[in-house]
């Protein structure tokens, strides 16, 4: 059973546009929702994270929107840049099982 | 160094041989994780160490895989009798109490 479902698998956006990646989860015990960015040949890097007591968190051009009742959260990249082209992974974890469970990833391409 | 360090960065081994992969976590981080990432795929959880607690080995795919963490710091992932399906990038991450996981660059293992 897939614990977190991520979509879309790939995304192409024009420079300056908004990139939106979605994740859905099943287990209501999850209480930590990070997004990771991975460039080819590199390990994933933490981008931004949210806990379920807030509905939105913004850091620069990156925003997480969280819908607890729908068990969904999404990453919004405003004013997307070619340098944002990478693979993005959502993840979930809980206080009792702290290992991160990752989504399948979204390959983002921002066209110049 | 300030980040998670993994060695070797690349390893080519013959089928049936044993391999050891090393991870030096960020100093002071109490948690350490191993993940596996197959080509173009997501991150598969392998094992999790937290302080002096018994490790969570629930993600290890077979008894050919084992890991240890000495002195609460350095960790070694051992794969015995390697198979071609073990070819992947093995990623290590460490985390302070806040659950933010910081990844190393990974070890690319190729079994020929």
What is the 8-class DSSP label of residue A92? E
Answer whether A43 sits within 8 Å of B4, measured CB to CB: yes
Across the interface, of B41, B93, B99, the residue whose CB is closest to A32 is B99
Number of domains in chain A: 1
B14 within domain boundaries: no
A-B contacts (CB, under 8 Å): 50
Q: Could you tell me which residue, A14 or B96, shows the higher pLDDT?
A: A14
What is the pLDDT confidence band of residue A99, given thresholds at 50, 70 and 90?
confident
In a domain, B75, yes or no: yes
Does B36 sit behind a cis peptide bond, omega within 30 degrees of 0 on the bond before it?
A: no
Q: pLDDT at residue A2 above 80?
A: no
Number of domains in chain B: 1
Q: What is the distance between the alpha carbons of residues A30 and A52, in angstroms, rounded to a whole number?
A: 9
Q: How far is CA A109 from the centre of its chain?
A: 15
pLDDT value for B52: 83
Res A1 pLDDT > 70? no
- Whether B77 is in a domain gets the answer yes
Average pLDDT over chain A, rounded to whole? 94
Whether residue B103 is contained in a domain is answered as no
Tell me the chain B residues in contact with residue A42 when contact means C-beta distances shorter than 8 Å: 105-106
Angstroms from A42 CA to nearest CA on chain B: 5
CB-nearest partner of B50 from A46, A93, A98: A98
At residue A98, does pLDDT exceed 80?
A: no
In this structure, of B5-14, B50-59, B85-94, the range with the lowest mean pLDDT score is B50-59
Give residue A86's domain range. 4-111
Least confident piece of the model among A6-20, A55-69, B88-102: B88-102
> A99 touching B, CB under 8 A?
yes
Q: Which residues of A touch B53 (CB under 8 A)?
A: none
In a domain, B36, yes or no: yes
Contact A102/B42, CB-based, under 8 Å?
Answer: yes
Decide if pLDDT at B1 tops 60: no
- For the segment B91-109, the average pLDDT, to the nearest whole number, is 91
pLDDT confidence bin for A33, thresholds 50/70/90: very high
pLDDT at B72 over 80: no
**B18 occurs within a structural domain:** no
pLDDT score, position A91: 95
Cross-chain residue pair A99–B104, CB shorter than 8 Å: no
Which candidate in B9, B43, B94, B100 is best for mutational testing of the A interface (most A CBs within 10 A)?
B43
pLDDT over 70 (residue A41): yes
Residue A108 has pLDDT above 80, yes or no: yes
Residue B26 has pLDDT above 70, yes or no: yes
Any domain includes B78: yes
Domain that holds residue B79: 5-9+23-98
In terms of C-beta distances under 8 Å and separation of at least 24 residues, what long-range contacts does A106-109 make, across chains too? A106/A6, A106/A7, A106/A8, A106/A9, A106/A10, A106/A11, A106/A21, A107/A9, A107/A10, A107/A11, A108/A10, A108/A11, A108/A12, A108/A13, A108/A19, A108/A21, A108/A77, A108/A80, A108/A84, A109/A10, A109/A11, A109/A12, A109/A13, A109/A85
With contacts defined as CB-CB under 8 Å, which chain B residues touch A103? 42
Specify if B68 maps to a domain: yes
What mean pLDDT is predicted for residues B83-93? 96
CB-based contact A97:A80 (threshold 8 Å): no
Using 50, 70 and 90 to split pLDDT, how confident is the model at B58? very high
CATH number of the domain at A63, please: 2.60.40.10
Q: What is the largest CA-CA distance in chain B?
A: 40
Q: What is the pLDDT of residue A97?
A: 67
Tell me the CATH number at B45. 2.60.40.10
Q: What pLDDT is attached to residue B82?
A: 98
Q: At which residue do the structure tokens 């070694």 appear?
A: B76
């Amino acid at each position: 059973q897939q614990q977190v479902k991520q979509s879309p698998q790939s995304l192409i956006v024009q420079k300056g546009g908004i990139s939106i990646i979605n994740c859905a989860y099943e287990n209501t015990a999850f209480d930590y929702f990070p997004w990771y960015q991975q460039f080819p040949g590199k390990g994933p890097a933490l981008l931004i994270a949210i806990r379920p007591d807030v509905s939105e968190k913004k850091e620069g051009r990156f925003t997480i929107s969280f819908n607890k009742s729908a068990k969904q959260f999404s990453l919004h990249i405003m004013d997307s840049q070619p340098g944002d082209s990478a693979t993005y992974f959502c993840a979930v974890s809980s206080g009792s099982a702290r290992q991160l469970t990752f989504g399948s990833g979204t390959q983002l391409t921002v066209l110049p | 160094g300030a980040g998670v360090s993994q060695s070797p960065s690349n390893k080519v081994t013959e089928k049936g041989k044993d391999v050891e992969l090393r991870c030096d976590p960020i100093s002071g981080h109490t948690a350490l994780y191993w993940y596996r990432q197959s080509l173009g795929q997501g991150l598969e959880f392998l094992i999790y160490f937290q302080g002096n607690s018994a490790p969570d080995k629930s993600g290890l795919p077979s008894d050919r895989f084992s890991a240890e963490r000495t002195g609460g710091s350095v960790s070694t992932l051992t794969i015995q009798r390697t198979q071609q399906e073990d070819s992947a990038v093995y990623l290590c991450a460490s985390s302070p109490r806040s659950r933010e996981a910081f990844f190393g660059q990974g070890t690319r293992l190729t079994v020929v």
